[in-house]
Structure 1
Amino acid sequence: MSLNEQIMAELLAKANSLPKSPGCYLMKDKDETILYVGKAKNLKSRVASYFNKSAKSAKTQILVSKIFNFDFIITNSEAESYVLENNLIKDNRPKYNIRLKDDKSYPYVQVNKSHAYPKLEYVRRPKRKRGVELFGPYPSGSNISSVMRTITKAFSLRDCSDWDFSSRKTPCILHQMNQCSAPCVEYISKEDYAKDLENALKVLKGNRNAKKAIKLLEQRMGQFAEEEKFEQAAMLRDYIEELKPFLENSFDQKVEFLNEKNVDVFSCYKGEKELDISLYMIRQGSLLGHKSFNFYIEDLFDEISEEVILFMLQYYGQSSEPLPETIVADLDRDQSKNFEDALRKTIGESIKFSVVSGEGKYRPLVEAAKQHAQESQRVRMENQESEYTGLHKLKDLLGMTERPRVLECYDIAIWQGKSPTASKVVFHDGKPDKKSYRHYHLQELPEGNNDFAMMKEVFERRIKKRPLPDVFVVDG
């Protein structure tokens, strides 16, 4: 019996001694580095399947060939195993687990009501905080930024920073231009400012109350005209005209059959080589936009539905955006319930939301999201735009046995003959992993600029830290 066969036999014997409980398992290499984290309803059956003689995909065979040991953690339920798996992947970043990369964010308008005189703030990645009210997301950053400025001026809200607000002794020029009520020097009471803020928020909410807020502006415009303050009346007229397109879009309800106003819809399409997941985002009853994600099928070790649940846990666990009222997933009812339980444990029981299966009235939305996933994959494949295609070409070019997953790229820079510096950028599955980017400050050598010696210093420092990437790319 060869050494590898002996190791597999020992691992299989260990796996057969595991309990038939739900839980997570951690596959490790000879250096005790975690290669892969998985979950199972039945730990004994799932872990043993890696080491018995059953048929395995090429990717699984490569993973198994590198396993020298494994650990396991028992959980009380399948929902708990989802939560634990998600946390273990986030903490250990195993090489063979898929990672979510979501670089697309939508803008929000934020109001911090814990401040005595709140203002409207534009944010891209809002944080869940007590006392903070969010409006959005909105499809266009530049458009909502312009709308926010118009609302601020129309209702004479403050637009200054908190530091400027607290340090000001006299009103700023915006007050002189009739664009701010100068709460910084108490030219307006908290009660009156709160009324103006509430009317401003009615516009952002995009409901029927917004018409009342606009009617109030029209009344003020008429009052200014009667008092022969024509410049101020003209300003309000212009503000109302600027807000009309925003209000018309807000009243246009495109998804009329839904009772809920804020819904996320997930669906997926499994092609020959890749899995595409599509997310449709419905906000205020209208289809706001979508996000698309794709993964290489050989990287998936569990059933597609299990991988989709883990993906959604990662997505909402990493996001600071407020959850929608309803999450619709192309899962059966038991899977939807498990996902909802796991998500509540991940983000907190107090947040109100519900998860439903993609049946009944939600079926058209699920099918639309699935069709989008299918078409996205078709276009990407026909145009060879998949990052996995390039990585497989690199594998063949370098004569590697598996697709490179982690690439580290290095370059040297020198400023006017001094201050030598090296930079490292990292790609994981063809996507930038910016959290792993690094700078190296190097020694100034007596012989001057010696790129080889400086790169030698970089790699001597780098290889002391594990794990190493699949490919080093050096400029020079």
Structure 2
Amino acid sequence: MSDTVKTPCKGPQLEQLLAKAKSLPTAAGCYLMKAKDEEVLYVGKAKNLKARVVTYFNESAKAVKTIHMVEKVRDFDFIMAGNEAEALILEHNLIKKHSPRYNIRLRDDKSYPYVVIALGEPFPTLRYQRRPKRNDPKTLVFGPFPNAGEVSEVLRLMIKCFGLRDCSVKEFSSRREPCLLYQMKQCTAPCRQLIEQKDYQALLESALAFFQGDPQNTIEQLKLRMSDFAQAEAFEHAAFIRDSLPVFEKFIMADKQANAELDGVHRDIDILAYHVGEIEVDISLYLVRNNLLLGSKTFHFPLADCQEEMEMELIRFALQYYAETHDSLPVVIVTDLSASAMKLFQTGVSKICNTAIEVFPPEVAYGELFRLASEHAREGQRIRIVNEDSPFLGLGFLQNLLQLKERPRRLECFDIAIWQGESPTAGIVVFEEGQPFKKDYRFYHLTSRPEGNNDFAFLREAFSKRLEKGHYPDVFVVDGGKGQLSQFIALLDEHKLAVPVIALAKECGGKVGVEERIFIPGRANPLPLLKSRALMKILVAMRDEAHRFSRKLHHHAFHKERLGGWLDDIAGIGPKAKQKIIQKLEMGIADLQKLSALELHDLFDLDHGQAQNLHDRLQKLSR
């Protein structure tokens, strides 16, 4: 755990909470710390509820982070469990349900490719997928595979060699004529019933054998198809299969190259190691599937965020990871824990994943791989700290800069998009722990102003709409300089909100790499972001993401508004013709107005009457 501070229990609120904690049962269970608005701040588990919860409110030493959390606690609930293992599983489910602010939540952004077949489709085909559903009875899943490019190329060639369909379900059901691939002998056109279901199934099974452990069967079937094409003098199609065979054979050979050290009883293994540094904790996860080392995943979080002993924090992380991962599960997890923690982890992970998973210590068979994973965690942390590449360093710098009690976790950035006073929109992007949190992005259509551009009015409107959502960030970020910062502060004061805000802008004429500056309330001069490269990386990425998000949706709204307006109510141009024009439009209205009715007819594939009516409407727009 992080450094602790001894603090006295004081104040009537804490005394009441302490009295309530002393009345808790001594059984195992979970507790939920709540703020004044019933927000769940933290979920924990304990072998002895009374003994554990009392420590939050008595005079015992606590981590600084825990002290800040306790200051916000107004009440707590508890749920009893039969034993510590049940409490561990209950804790995981409660954390997943409430996403408490003070629980460590790690996101897995790395995934491996799989080959999937949707069995529910009338003519199934092979698909490339990154995050397949686990235990879906309607889907066959093969993988994971270490090289995304190779498996993608194998799939592309396999589908064409066997003539399997390559279209989506929607395209398949709506197609009236066979596509071009049928003419090229690279599809059997099941969409038009040009192949019997049983014959298509036979082709699919020949392709599936490649991923089901019998790739030579697939190769032999392809050679037979190549021979049949050659005898039918379809030499181009035979040559396509001939040229594809080396790709398949190379893939087979790579799959056979298992590491001698990993060639043991267990083919699917995860190696879980961690390193506790002075500031952060790094976790390194090595994935072995089918005796092949696929690669590794890394996670890190501040040591100050740890509320429990490190073994329990690691187990809590692992349960979260294995419950949410889309990758295939291991049979064995190798990690270094005490005997009691190992047993607790094995019970919990098997229960949550609904399958038996063993947890082993790093014995001789996996000792070298565990050492490498441990070294990877240690070196990854060292390099990140040396290069100031940790988001926690950047957020810690912002905490000190704004004199906040806690490290800011959630930042929100506003960006207003408008062009020539038309179609104003606002985009809000959210970063949590220095990373984009896209599910909380927001986009607002704003009211056009008679005066055209009015940044403050647009910002006021966007801010008012944002306030309706509640749950404010730790820090607002505004794209702009001192003027935009002053405007935003005025809005916060108007709504009596005490949320910190900063503004991010580039120095006029500044050199590349030293031009980014932040404006801070109460500070006369802006601060060059080179003071903290870690913070600069977060804020610049956030500003650029806000630009990207708001501009993209603004262009869409502007495009829709302009086109939707002047294309409406044109005689002879209904919804289908309108959509055809929009899809083929690659020039502005000014350029369209220069075209004749005949040129519009050719450009948009309209009949002559539609083209003339469109031409007349365009000419009226210029008046």
2:423 maps to which residue? 419
CA distance in 1, matches of 2:9, 2:82: 37
405, 411, 416: which one pairs with 1:407? 411
What is the one-letter code of the residue matched to 1:192?
D
Paired with 1:234 and 1:447, the residues of 2 have a C-alpha distance of 67
Counting only pairs closer than 5 Å after superposition, residues 35-434 of structure 1 correspond to structure 2 as 35-128=41-134, 129-168=136-175, 170-205=177-212, 207=213, 209-222=214-227, 224-225=229-230, 229-254=234-259, 255-347=261-353, 349=354, 352-360=355-363, 361-434=365-438
Counterpart of 2:596 in structure 1 is none
Unaligned runs of 5+ in 1: none
Q: Give aligned-pair identity as a percent.
A: 47
1:101 Cα deviation after fit: 1.6
Q: 1:327 to 1:193 in 2, by over 3 A?
A: farther
Work out the CA distance in 2 between the residues paired with 1:474 and 1:222: 67
Q: Which secondary structure does the structure 2 equivalent of 1:94 belong to? A: coil
8 Å Cα contact 1:105/1:125 also seen in 2: yes
SS in 1 for 2:44: strand
The structural deviation recorded for 1:107 is 1.8
The residue type equivalent to 2:239 in the other structure is: A
Instruction: Rate the CA distance shift 1:153–1:260 in 2: closer, same or farther, 3 A.
Output: farther
- The one-letter amino acid paired with 1:218 is K
Listed as ranges, the gaps of 5+ residues in structure 2 are 1-7, 485-623
| 2:445 maps to which of 441, 444, 448 | 441
8 Å Cα contact 1:262-1:282 kept in structure 2: yes
Cα displacement string for residues 165-203 of structure 1 (whole angstroms, at most 9, x for unaligned residues): 334455433233222233334444333333322221222
- 3-state SS, counterpart of residue 348 of structure 2: helix
CA-CA distance at 1:99 after TM superposition: 1.4
Does structure 2 conserve the Cα–Cα contact (< 8 Å) formed by 1:199 and 1:213?
yes
Residue by residue, what CA displacement relative to the aligned partner does 1:39-90 show, whole Å, maximum 9, x if unpaired? Answer: 1111111111112222222222222222222211112232332232223222
Aligned residue number for residue 12 of structure 1: 18
Q: Secondary structure at the match of 1:324?
A: coil
Distance 1:147 1:346, change over 3 A: same
The change in CA–CA distance for 1:184 and 1:92 in structure 2 (over 3 A counts) is: same
Q: What is the CA–CA distance in structure 2 between the aligned matches of 1:364 and 1:214, rounded to whole Å?
A: 37
Aligned length: 470
Report the CA distance between 1:298 and its aligned residue. Answer: 0.3
Cα pair 2:421 2:448 within 8 Å, conserved: no
CA distance in 2, matches of 1:446, 1:358: 71
Measure, in 1, the Cα distance between the counterparts of 2:283 and 2:183.
53
The Cα shift of 1:465 comes to 4.6
Partner letter of residue 157 of structure 1? L
The two structures have a TM-score, normalised by structure 2, of 0.70
1:439 aligned counterpart, secondary structure: strand
Which one is further off, 381-390 or 193-202? 193-202
Q: Secondary structure, in 3 states, of the residue corresponding to 1:157? A: coil
1:326–1:353 CA contact under 8 A, matched in 2: no
Q: Cα 1:325–1:157, aligned 2, differ >3 Å: closer, same or farther?
A: farther
Work out the CA distance in 1 between the residues paired with 2:197 and 2:366. Answer: 45
Contact 2:421/2:449 (CA < 8 Å) preserved in 1?
no
Contact 2:118 2:138 in 1 (8 A): yes
CA distance in 2, matches of 1:455, 1:270: 44
Q: Could you say which residue in structure 2 is the equivalent of 1:457?
A: 461
2:311–2:337 contact (8 Å) kept in structure 1: yes
Aligned counterparts of 1:15 and 1:412: Cα–Cα separation in 2: 49
Distance 1:181 1:422 in 2: 49
Taking a change above 3 Å as real, the CA distance of residues 221 and 442 of structure 1, as seen in their structure-2 partners, is closer
Q: Give 1:252 shift.
A: 0.8
What is the deviation of 1:403?
A: 1.5
Paired with 1:149 and 1:460, the residues of 2 have a C-alpha distance of: 50
Structure 1 residues 474 and 168: alpha-carbon distance in aligned structure 2, compared to 1, 3 A threshold: closer
C-alpha distance in structure 2 between counterparts of 1:332 and 1:4, whole Å: 37
Name whichever of 137-146 and 227-236 sits farther off.
227-236
Give, as a single letter, the amino acid of the residue that structure 2 aligns with 1:29.
A
Deviations 1:315-347 (A, max 9, x none): 222233432333334334543443344344434
CA contact (8 A) 1:264 1:326 kept: yes
Taking a change above 3 Å as real, the CA distance of residues 173 and 454 of structure 1, as seen in their structure-2 partners, is closer
Q: d(CA) in 2 for partners of 1:410 and 1:437?
A: 10
What are the superposed Cα offsets for residues 235-279 of structure 1, whole Å, 9 maximum, x if unpaired? 221110222221111111125333233322222111111111111
The change in CA–CA distance for 1:160 and 1:401 in structure 2 (over 3 A counts) is: closer
Give 1:34 shift.
2.0
Please tell me whether the aligned partners of residues 392 and 403 of structure 1 are also in contact (alpha carbons under 8 angstroms). Answer: yes
Larger deviation: 251-260 or 271-280?
Answer: 251-260
2:416 aligned counterpart, secondary structure: strand
Amino acid across the alignment from 1:356? V
CA distance in 2, matches of 1:62, 1:171: 66
2:92 and 2:316 in contact (8 A); partners too: yes
Cα distance in 2 for residues equivalent to 1:400 and 1:172:
62
Conserved? CA contact 2:420–2:453, under 8 Å = no
